[in-house]
Amino acid sequence: MGLNDITIVIQPLGSTPEVLGPPLAKYRPDIIVLITSDQSYVDLFYKHLNSGWQRYVKNPYVIVRLVHTPWTSDSVDRFMVEFDEAVKEIEEMPETKGKNLYWHVGTAGGTNPMAIGAALSAFTHRFPVYYSQEKKYNPDKDDEELAIDIDLFLNLGPGYKALQKERCMKIMKFIAKHGPVASIAIAEHFGFTKQNESAGRRPLVNACLITKIDNGKWIATNLAKALLAMMAYEEE
C-alpha cells in the first residue's frame, strides 16, 4: 500500500476476539472499527493486540460502536446504523481526506444478527467482505490465510461500475429478464453488430454479472440480480 492508501477493517465483535487475527494479518489495517455489545470484548481485543497482534499492526486507530442486546428483532437495523455512522466518521476524518480508502468487512464474530447486519451494510456500501476461519480447525494455515475473501462481494464495485454504462445495463436487463439467451439474440434484439454486442457484454462477464451455461447461452448471476434490485430501489 502507498502513502495515500488507508486500509480499514470493520468487524463485529463478540467474546472471541480471535476472529480479528486473520484480517489484521492479511490486510494490515490503519483503522479498525469494532461493533460490539460489551466493552469487555474490546478490552479482550486490546489484550490480544498488545500481546501479539502488534506484529501485524502498530498503533491502529480504533473506533468502537456499541450495539446493546444484539439478538433482538431490531438488532440488524441498529447494527447498520452504527456501521453507517462509523463509515461517515472515517470519511470525515482530516487524515482520510484525499486518500484512497480500502475497506474490508468481517462477518464472523458477534451474534448472527450482527453478521447479517455486517453483510447487508457491506452490500449497501459496496465494500468487500471476508470470513475468518478458526485456527484450531486449520492448524497448518498461516493467520493471513484464515481470512477468506467472499467472491460475490469482491465484485460489487466492478459490477456496479459496469452497470453505469448504458449499453451494459440494457444487455444486463435483457439477460436477467429473458435468459438463458444467446449472443446472437442479444444483438438482434438491440440491433447491435456482433462487435458492439461483444463490447457491451464483456464488462458484464468480467464483473461476474453474467455466466455462460452448457448450451452456450447467457444467464444473470446472483450478484447481478442483487445489484439490479438495489439499483432499481436507488432510482425510486
110 and 14 belong to one structural domain: yes
| Total number of domains constituting the chain | 2
**Lowest-confidence region among 48-57, 60-69, 204-213:** 48-57
Question: Strand pairing of 210-212 and 218-220?
Answer: antiparallel
Report CA torsion sign: 33, 114, 37, 47: negative
Contact 131, 202 (CB under 8 A): no
Is 235's pLDDT higher than 60?
no
- Calculate the alpha carbon distances from 111 to 69, 86, 127, 228 in Å: 10, 19, 20, 29
197 and 101 belong to one structural domain: no
**Lowest-confidence region among 57-66, 84-93, 150-159:** 150-159
Q: What is the pLDDT of residues 29-43, one digit of tens each?
A: 999 999 999 999 999
Read off the amino acid at residue 161: K
Q: What is the pLDDT of residues 8-27, one digit of tens each?
A: 999 999 998 899 999 999 99
* CA pair distance 235, 46, nearest whole angstrom: 43
Using a pLDDT cut of 90, give the percent of the chain over it.
70
Q: Which of 134, 154, 174 is the last residue of a domain?
A: 154
Domain of residue 109, CATH code: 3.40.50.10770
Q: Which of 102, 129, 154 is the last residue of a domain?
A: 154
30 and 53 belong to one structural domain: yes
Give the residue numbers spanning the domain of 15.
5-154
Task: Give one DSSP letter per residue of 93-125, joined into a string.
Answer: SGGGTTSEEEEEEE-SSS-HHHHHHHHHHHHHH
Q: Which three cell numbers stand for residue 211?
A: 455466466
102 and 218 belong to one structural domain: no
Is 154's pLDDT higher than 60?
yes
pLDDT for residue 152:
78
85 and 110 belong to one structural domain: yes
Q: Which three cell numbers stand for residue 55?
A: 506484529
H or E stretch covering 91? helix 75-91
Average pLDDT, the chain: 91
132 and 180 belong to one structural domain: no
